[in-house]
């Protein structure tokens, strides 16, 4: 499905794009963009250039916590607990590992997108498998969280022993891209300067843009200017 960005997001980027990242407060950080229809691809898109200047949503530890909360990959109470326990430099280090993981996965996806993922690609996924193998996840029986539902539910959770465990839900999201998405349907936005990627789940597999509100609109405006220029020269 298409996910469009609000004009308010574009205005917010325009207002903050000239500020250095280290000077931007928590309140002035623009909300992350989730346009990929796949959390693992949204993670690749956690650095982007929606207006003029690149913005990295996981540039530091606090940014990583915000992105995980907005992506709904980690519960807010878990994030609050880990932030209280970890040193700021520890979270910053994990954010650096997350950025390295992101760029590794970007390279993997770009290499294989547009065609079926071949079995021989498994060897390239060893870094991701090593991350997944470090998980200490488990299942347990808990009461249903919905008031209108009696009985119990089987809940999958993990032991959040350190800040590095924040990489595990990211690893799972990337693994789902590999195992559940058709790489034939993974595309890059056709915007000339856009770096965003997405899974095309439209019926005709005809999606071209990260968002019609951003790159799609720019393309329409460019086509309109071109037509006006041609008419003027006729």
pLDDT in tens, 38-78: 999 999 999 998 667 889 999 999 999 999 999 999 999 99
Tally the C-alpha atoms within 13 A of residue 227's C-alpha that lie toward its C-beta: 6
> Does residue 80 have a pLDDT over 80?
yes
In this predicted structure, the answer to whether residue 165 has a pLDDT above a threshold of 70 is yes
Share of the chain above pLDDT 90, in %: 68
Would you say 215 and 189 are in contact if contact means Cβ atoms under 8 Å apart? Answer: yes
Q: Residue 3: is its pLDDT beyond 60? A: no
Q: In this structure, are strands 152-158 and 186-188 parallel, antiparallel, or unpaired?
A: unpaired
Whether the pLDDT of residue 123 is over 50: the answer is: yes
As a whole number of angstroms, the distance between CA 138 and CA 1 comes to 32
pLDDT score of 21: 40
Confidence of residue 149 (pLDDT cuts 50, 70, 90): confident
Q: At 193, is the pLDDT very low, low, confident or very high (cuts 50, 70, 90)?
A: confident
- 69 and 84 Cβ atoms separated by less than 8 Å: no
Higher pLDDT, 106 or 193: 106
- Between CA 36 and CA 201 the distance in angstroms is 10
Q: What is the DSSP letter of 119?
A: G
- Dihedral angle sign, alpha carbons of residues 61, 62, 67, 72: positive
Angle ∠(78,132,42) on CA atoms, nearest 5: 65
Helix (H) or strand (E) run with residue 137 in it: strand 137-143
pLDDT at 144: 84
Q: Helix, strand, or coil here: 133? A: helix
pLDDT over 80 at 4, yes or no: no
Q: What CATH number was assigned to the domain covering residues 7-233?
A: 1.10.3300.10
Worst-scoring range by mean pLDDT, 33-42, 146-155, 169-178, 181-190? 146-155
Q: Is there a contact between 179 and 40 (Cβ–Cβ < 8 Å)?
A: no
SS3 of residue 231 by DSSP: helix
Helical (H) or strand (E) element with 9: helix 7-16
């Amino acid at each position: 499905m298409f996910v469009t960005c609000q004009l308010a997001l574009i205005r917010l980027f325009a207002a903050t794009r000239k500020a250095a990242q280290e000077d931007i407060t928590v309140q002035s950080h623009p909300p992350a963009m989730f346009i990929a229809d796949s959390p693992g691809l949204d993670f690749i898109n956690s650095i982007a250039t929606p207006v003029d200047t690149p913005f990295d949503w996981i540039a530091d530890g606090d940014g990583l916590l915000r992105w995980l909360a907005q992506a709904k990959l980690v519960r807010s109470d878990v994030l609050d607990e880990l932030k209280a326990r970890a040193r700021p430099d520890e979270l910053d280090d994990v954010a650096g590992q997350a950025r390295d993981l992101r760029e590794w996965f970007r390279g993997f996806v770009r290499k294989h997108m547009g065609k079926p993922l071949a079995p021989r690609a498994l060897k390239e996924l060893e870094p991701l498998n090593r991350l997944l193998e470090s998980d200490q996840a488990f299942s347990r029986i808990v009461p249903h969280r919905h008031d209108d539902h009696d009985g119990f539910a089987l809940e999958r959770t993990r032991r959040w022993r350190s800040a590095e465990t924040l990489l595990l839900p990211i690893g799972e999201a990337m693994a789902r891209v590999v195992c559940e998405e058709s790489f034939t349907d993974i595309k890059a936005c056709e915007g000339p300067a856009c770096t965003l990627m997405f899974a095309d789940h439209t019926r005709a597999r005809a999606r071209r843009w990260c968002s019609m509100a951003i790159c799609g609109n720019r393309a329409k405006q460019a086509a309109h200017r071109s037509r006006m220029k041609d008419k003027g020269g006729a």
